[in-house]
Amino acid sequence: AQSVTQLGSHVSVSEGALVLLRCNYSSSVPPYLFWYVQYPNQGLQLLLKYTSAATLVKGINGFEAEFKKSETSFHLTKPSAHMSDAAEYFCAVSKAAGNKLTFGGGTRVLVKP
């Protein structure tokens, strides 16, 4: 079985500050890992994904994440927060064969001016 834990349901950052969202996973097989962003009353948009290639993955909107197998983590970062980054962020894991995504609980990001 797979599971995803996102530490911190809410994160507040100042505009221009570092954004760090934590995600830890458990999986019985090498995982495929994803970060999605959700704006209010909208579906999910893929930020980036890890599919067993480079461990440092760059995504859209200046986000990146690093896969650390030893720590079973896939934390999401952005060097400088922008007001438009205020949204809900979900980490998700899947196995290659099943295609089913298991989501973490989500982290809501608030950006202060």
Partner 1 sequence: GAVVSQHPSRVICKSGTSVKIECRSLDFQATTMFWYRQFPKQSLMLMATSNEGSKATYEQGVEKDKFLINHASLTLSTLTVTSAHPEDSSFYICSARDFKRGDYNEQFFGPGTRLTVL
Distance CA 59, CA 89 (A): 13
- Of residues 13, 94, 109, 111, which one binds partner 1 by CB under 8 A? 94
Residue partners of 2: CB distance under 8 A and separation at least 6: 25, 26, 27, 28, 31, 93, 94, 95, 102
Q: How many residues bind partner 1 (CB under 8 A)?
A: 23
- Of residues 7, 17, 86, 101, which one binds partner 1 by CB under 8 A? 101
Single-letter amino acid, residue 111? V
Smallest distance, partner 1 to C-beta of residue 100, A = 6
Token pair recorded at residue 35: 């970060």
Using the structure block, give the residue that is written with the tokens 């530490």.
7
Nearer to partner 1, 28 or 113 (CB): 28
Binding track, positions 21-50, relative to partner 1; x by CB under 8 A: -----------x-x-x----xxxxxx--x-
- Counting Cα atoms < 13 Å in the Cβ hemisphere of 91 gives 31
Smallest distance, partner 1 to C-beta of residue 49, A = 7
Residues found near partner 1 in the complex (CB under 8 A): 32, 34, 36, 41-46, 49, 51, 90, 94, 96, 99-106, 108
